[in-house]
Structure 1
Amino acid sequence: MTRFLTARLWRYWLLPACLLFTSPNWAAEILLTAAEDGPGVQAFVQALGRQRPDDRVTFTPLKNLPAPALLPDSTRLILLDLQSLDWRLQDSQGPPTLVLRISRLQARLRLGHSVPAKISLLWSDPPLERQLRLIADILPQAHRIGVLYSLDSEFLLHELQRYATPMGLEIVPQRWDNINDSRPLQALFKNSDVLLGLDDPQLYNPKTAKNLLLSSYARQLPLIGPNAGFVKAGSLASTYSDQNDWLDVLDRLLDRTPSSWPRSLYPEHFKAVGNPQVARSLGIEQVDEAALAVRLAEGEKYP
């Protein structure tokens, strides 16, 4: 009889209690969306699913979703492109939302000076302070930092100056309204030791790349940034975060309650990339990407 009662106690009370402490208390509904599907999107969704096996991670094309306010509040919504952000901004109501890989300029054009409630922005462009420290590390002799800007990216200049002054660097700004007019570009090159590219697609795009890069070669003036893609095209170096870095920051945020998500955030982890051919042509020592990333990470400040 004692053995029978012990078995019943284990089956109906102790076993469920043990499972309560060894299993997750809840599984999150994580919904990713974008205007278009594709192999890259599916690979990212699958990678996030593998990283969070206890959650339900799904992708639904934007065209198949209802209005944001009709989604359950318990959903963790992740937006993968600007079209999905435009859709989310239709409603002040809706589930907590992470906007993945959006640049500062893109956010400014859509949101102005403030981020709506329940929306958190994960920046795609490298932090300006990090890019300045990158310059100081690989080009210690460079003090005058030339910066092309447009009307849209002008708001970044004040922040750049705030970071540059304590580092003993001078920001030399030059507005470039007409990309077919090279005179502002040439004037900036004459007064700069290095050019820092802002992630402004009006200025840095396939149409301007040839002129920018050939001019920098002719002047023996390195171009830093604005992103990893431009380094492949011919700029000297930049910092960037890859898919694994984005998965890491998503994993940490999804472990927290949405009410604690920051309004905006840069990925903590990042990498450095350099162009060896450009370094040789400019007579600059080739960038040791791994060592450079470690040195820059040691100087990062986190809340």
Structure 2
Amino acid sequence: MDVTTRSLTNRDGMISTKFAEFIQSYHFQRRPSVRLALFWLLLSILPSTSYSQMSEPGSTVIYIAGSGNKALDLHITRLLTDEFGDEASLVPVRDDQSMIGTDSPIITIGPVAFSKIRQMNRDAPILALMVEKTFFQGYATRTPGQVSAIYYDVPLLRQALTGTTILPQATQIALLASTETVELYEDLVDQLAAYNLSARVFITDSDEQLIPTLVRALTYGDFVLAASDDAIYNPRNIKHILLTAYRRNKIVIGPSQAYVKAGVLASSYAPFPTIVAKAGTYVRAFLAERRFPEPDYPDEYRVEINQQVGRSLNIPLPEREWIAEQVNTMIISGREDSE
């Protein structure tokens, strides 16, 4: 009987022998796909003290705190399982698991999971996934090396260059912000000059101001660049923003892949395998040096396009791969020129 079956059957009848035999019959230890499918199932039915029994004695343990979105958690866990293979055992963290050792790194999925783990143990080494820079950078400044992140939001310069690659004639970019979020665009405005581009931020602080302000922004800009600003770009407003822009034959770029499905023309995004690959590099660095590298963005981006919107606006759209390559080339060239 393997270690997993023992951990399931020695809990005073909490898990039935038949259930343990079911797992054994599917070669739980030898078939990663079956093991992964049961990973989050076990999380919901086993007490937290059982998790440590599921890892091999002496093996490296990496804790995972899920977002609560089962599909997302399962997908990222599958990628992490492939990334680490036999290097480490992945152990889920439950809400009622109040004590976590500070020697093992913890990977959190989403801002809520990070916040919960951070409050459970402020000395814990945490690598945050699926968080934005604006949310995380304060933590990184206060506890460098102890906590780090692979940012999920796309750098605004990359989004801006995605827009100008689709519209090569574009030179002016319109930006919408509230008084509280205008700082999101500060770095971008300074960066654009190196690419012979300019941008202007238009401030709107209420729903009543939104559309009139957007109309002024569309008069100035060749397209609208959207940041991850929930005060403006949210399910309540996005339809009105898109309709107003498209009636004036202006496009909207960003802020994420999800918004492309909602009607935005295009957005860059980091594929999950790229995020997890960089997470693997960070965890290995921590295990070797007891410090995480500084938070950073993923190393690869792709482009999502809404072909239907492109056809409606009569905009010829290049291949997604070509757009991503062009943006990469411009960013690399810009870095070299600044050195």
Counterparts in 2 of 1:9-28, with a 5 A limit? 27-28=59-60
Secondary structure, in 3 states, of the residue corresponding to 2:176?
strand
Measured after TM superposition, the shift of residue 98 of structure 1 is 0.7
Q: 2:231 aligns with which of 174, 179, 202?
A: 202
Check whether the contact 1:31–1:75 (CA below 8 A) recurs between aligned residues. yes
Counterparts in 2 of 1:68-147, with a 5 A limit? 70-90=99-119, 93-107=122-136, 111=138, 114-117=141-144, 118-147=146-175
Measured after TM superposition, the shift of residue 282 of structure 1 is 1.9
Secondary structure, in 3 states, of the residue corresponding to 1:265?
coil
Secondary structure, in 3 states, of the residue corresponding to 1:75?
coil
What do the CA deviations read for 1:87-110 (whole angstroms, capped 9, x no partner)? 2443774232111111133336xx
Distance 1:31 1:248 in 2: 17
User: What code does the residue aligned with 1:206 have?
Assistant: P
User: What code does the residue aligned with 2:230 have?
Assistant: P
Secondary structure, in 3 states, of the residue corresponding to 1:268?
coil
What residue is the counterpart of 1:295 in the other structure?
Answer: 326
Measured after TM superposition, the shift of residue 81 of structure 1 is 2.1
Measured after TM superposition, the shift of residue 260 of structure 1 is 4.8
User: What code does the residue aligned with 2:323 have?
Assistant: L
What residue is the counterpart of 2:182 in the other structure?
Answer: 154
Check whether the contact 1:105–1:152 (CA below 8 A) recurs between aligned residues. no
**Structure 2 length-normalised TM:** 0.74
Measured after TM superposition, the shift of residue 272 of structure 1 is 0.7
**Structure 1 length-normalised TM:** 0.82
Distance 2:247 2:128 in 1: 40
What residue is the counterpart of 2:53 in the other structure?
Answer: none
Counterparts in 2 of 1:260-275, with a 5 A limit? 260-275=291-306
Task: Describe the shift of the 1:93–1:60 C-alpha distance in structure 2 as closer, same or farther (beyond 3 A).
Answer: closer
What residue is the counterpart of 1:9 in the other structure?
Answer: none
What do the CA deviations read for 1:181-225 (whole angstroms, capped 9, x no partner)? 321111111111110001111111111111111011111011111
Measured after TM superposition, the shift of residue 151 of structure 1 is 3.2
Higher mean C-alpha displacement, 244-253 vs 292-301: 292-301
Task: Give structure 2 stretches of 5+ with no counterpart.
Answer: 1-57
Distance 1:264 1:209 in 2: 30
What do the CA deviations read for 1:237-271 (whole angstroms, capped 9, x no partner)? 11001221222111222222364533311000121
Measured after TM superposition, the shift of residue 236 of structure 1 is 1.2
Check whether the contact 1:240–1:272 (CA below 8 A) recurs between aligned residues. yes
Q: 1:34 aligns with which of 66, 78, 83?
A: 66
Q: 1:44 aligns with which of 68, 76, 79?
A: 76
Secondary structure, in 3 states, of the residue corresponding to 2:317?
coil
Secondary structure, in 3 states, of the residue corresponding to 1:78?
strand
What residue is the counterpart of 2:240 in the other structure?
Answer: 211
What residue is the counterpart of 2:221 in the other structure?
Answer: 192
Measured after TM superposition, the shift of residue 120 of structure 1 is 0.6
What residue is the counterpart of 1:65 in the other structure?
Answer: 97
Counterparts in 2 of 1:236-275, with a 5 A limit? 236-257=265-286, 259-275=290-306
What residue is the counterpart of 1:183 in the other structure?
Answer: 212
Distance 1:64 1:207 in 2: 35
What do the CA deviations read for 1:124-180 (whole angstroms, capped 9, x no partner)? 111112112212222121111000012342222220112111111111101121124
User: What code does the residue aligned with 2:152 have?
Assistant: S
Distance 1:227 1:46 in 2: 23
User: What code does the residue aligned with 1:50 have?
Assistant: D
User: What code does the residue aligned with 2:170 have?
Assistant: A
Distance 1:229 1:74 in 2: 36
Distance 1:75 1:124 in 2: 23
Over aligned residue pairs, what C-alpha RMSD do you find?
Answer: 2.4
Measured after TM superposition, the shift of residue 77 of structure 1 is 0.7
What residue is the counterpart of 1:222 in the other structure?
Answer: 251
Check whether the contact 1:34–1:83 (CA below 8 A) recurs between aligned residues. no
What do the CA deviations read for 1:49-106 (whole angstroms, capped 9, x no partner)? 1321220112223x1221xxx4222211111122222224437742321111111333
Distance 1:271 1:230 in 2: 15
